[in-house]
Amino acid sequence: MIAEIEKLMKDDVAGDPISGIKWTRRTGEKVSRQLRRVGIWVSAGTVRRLLKKVDFHLHVNRKTISSTRSPERDRQFKCIRRARSRFEHKRLPVISVDSKKREMIGRFKNPGAKWAKAATPVNDHDFRSDALGVAVSYGVYDIAANRGYVFVGTSHDTSEFAGDALALWWQREGANRYPHADRILILADCGGSNGNRVAAWKCALQEKLCDALGLQVTVAHYPSGASKWNPIEHRLFSEISKNWAGQPLTSYETMLKYIRTTKTKQGLSVRATILKRHYATGQKPDAQQLSRLNVRRHRTLPAWNYTVASLGRM
């Protein structure tokens, strides 16, 4: 049976030269129909089970080709690896941060599927005017502890919002988990509220973490087009998306519930808090804030690697 299936599809097979995984454009129904023509009666479901036995799998397009590949990409990955190694060796906190996509609160379709006796009815259009509000999530993922903390805002994703989220994370979790730490490593993307070129982001770190909490903050940014390597993406946000797949986020409490109940076999646990403060967009640091910045850029790729500390510390 298996030999017949492989012979039938020999001209429609593709595969990964590294892992050996194979895939085909033909569906189980098409293979089943063609087998009947040669006297083999088997259902489409059985065909799919047999295909798995010979390493065929369903595949979708994967966004792995970067259109903005930086010439210094590999060098920066090595910098990040070395920085992580230094901090982890000294048992200092290494956290990965990012903003999750903006969600509308209400009866809106959420991608994915769930097991149920009937489909959940949702709005036929995603109009902002029909939403009860918007949710902007900023996540903090503690790599060593495998713990996530998501702060859900109700206005905008700004550098001040990111700074408040980080300060709250340290006060509620970080300081207790790392009682002797006075330094922290942050892994972040190049864009958004924590972008490497955003002055407001550095000011938020200066004021809310360094000056207020006495921390020295080292930041390493992933190069443009490499955000999917940021640990928070595949270790926290993807798991949250799986947990609420196919579930309309009908209220802020519903959203928080799904975030808090996200778990994995590897021991991931997640906390969530709502921040109802309004964060205005377009706010830029004034001259006084910029004059208080104490930023030391590293020798290697200084645009992506730097340390912020309270005045007089560096």
In a domain, 35, yes or no: yes
Task: Give the Cα separation of 13 and 146 in Å (integer).
Answer: 39
Whether residues 211 and 281 fall in one domain: yes
Spatial contact of 305 and 221, defined as CB atoms under 8 Å apart: yes
Q: Give strand pairing partners of 3.
A: none
Whether residues 275 and 202 fall in one domain: yes
What's the CATH number where 173 sits? 3.30.420
Spatial contact of 156 and 280, defined as CB atoms under 8 Å apart: yes
Task: Give the Cα separation of 71 and 84 in Å (integer).
Answer: 22
Residue 176 to residues 93, 172, 281, 302: CA-CA distances in angstroms? 11, 7, 33, 31
Spatial contact of 258 and 240, defined as CB atoms under 8 Å apart: yes
Whether residues 19 and 78 fall in one domain: no
- Which helix (H) or strand (E) is 153 found in, with range? strand 147-153
Task: Give the Cα separation of 272 and 259 in Å (integer).
Answer: 6
In a domain, 314, yes or no: no
Q: Number of structural domains, the chain?
A: 2
Whether residues 175 and 293 fall in one domain: yes
pLDDT of residue 279: 97
Task: Give the Cα separation of 87 and 82 in Å (integer).
Answer: 9
Q: Which residues of the chain have pLDDT under 50?
A: 16-20
Whether residues 20 and 169 fall in one domain: no
Whether residues 12 and 151 fall in one domain: no
In a domain, 62, yes or no: no
Spatial contact of 126 and 104, defined as CB atoms under 8 Å apart: yes
Structure tokens at 55: 């390493």
pLDDT of residue 118: 80
pLDDT of residue 70: 73
Q: What is the domain extent for residue 38?
A: 2-53
Q: State the first-to-last Cα distance of the chain, in angstroms, to the nearest integer.
A: 71
pLDDT of residue 17: 43
Task: Give the Cα separation of 285 and 198 in Å (integer).
Answer: 10
